[in-house]
Amino acid sequence: MGPYLAAGRDRSVKASVMTKKEERLKKQQEKLAAELDRLENMRLYEKKYESCGLICGIDEAGRGPLAGPVVAGAVILPRDCQILYLNDSKKLTARRRELLYEEIMEKALAVGTGVVSHARIDEINILQATYEAMRQAIEKLGMEPDILLNDAVTIPEVTLKQVPIIKGDAKSVSIAAASVIAKVTRDRMMVEMDQKYPGYGFASNKGYGSAAHIASIREMGPCEIHRKTFIRNFTDHAE
């Protein structure tokens, strides 16, 4: 092969490599643009109520499990705060939630969490326990918000202006942030409970009613943190 042909082939290979790099870069840029657009759409409620002042998102984790507490998160983000990939915590991987948790804690103006135990849930029912956890989270913010954006509910005994948003954790960055805080906080608690109460798989099922979890309840009976009002169909041990 002559030098001119060899040089031409080298240029062709380099051009092909550059084209692939450019294609990857283009895809990355398109993906980032799509993510920024998605986040912008999740700021619609924040923009609608920005004249109110400090906006606080509220959400909970753990209404459905057979064991453990219900946890609420309250988050006040700075105006136009950008946290890439923030979304409804249920749509995120555990790894992504952990990363977002740290970023939210770093960037938020205020974060509060409320925790209501399994025993209290049995005493007053899960809905009232959820409201109680949300009130706790608001109280622990360390500053008073001017308006609450809530995932679906209106919280009793709270005098602040409230806006309930159906599926709000997928429509509002503030609520999404609160959902991540609540979910990660509760998941970490259930991992600790797995060490204290082995055999139920709390580290993996987080207290939810998986087939393996229900089988363990039937075999071993409930442990201290099971919600008696939730497991009546699975065991005769619950009173």
Phi and psi angles of residue 148, each rounded to the nearest 5 degrees, phi first:
-110, 130
pLDDT tens per residue across span 16-65: 656 888 888 888 888 999 999 999 999 999 999 999 999 999 999 999 99
Integer Cα distance of 58 and 171 in angstroms:
13
Same domain? For 99 and 143 the reply is: yes
Relative to beta strand 70-76, strand 55-61 is: antiparallel
Total number of residues shown for the chain: 239
CA 14/CA 210 separation, integer angstroms: 54
Residue 133 lies in a domain: yes
Residue 60 CA to residue 114 CA, distance in Å, equals: 9
Last residue of a domain, one of 185, 212, 227: 185
Q: Which domain holds residue 121?
A: 44-185
Question: What's the domain count of the chain?
Answer: 2
Residue 174: what pLDDT? Answer: 98
pLDDT of the residue at 80: 86
The mean pLDDT value of the chain amounts to 92
Based on the domain organization, do 81 and 26 belong to the same domain?
A: no
- Closest to 103 in 3D by CA, of 85, 80, 122: 85
pLDDT of res. 17: 56
Residues of the chain with pLDDT under 50: 237-239
Same domain assignment for residues 116 and 4 = no
Residues 134 and 49 in one domain: yes
pLDDT, position 234: 87
31 and 138 share one domain: no
CATH number for the domain harbouring residue 142: 3.30.420.10
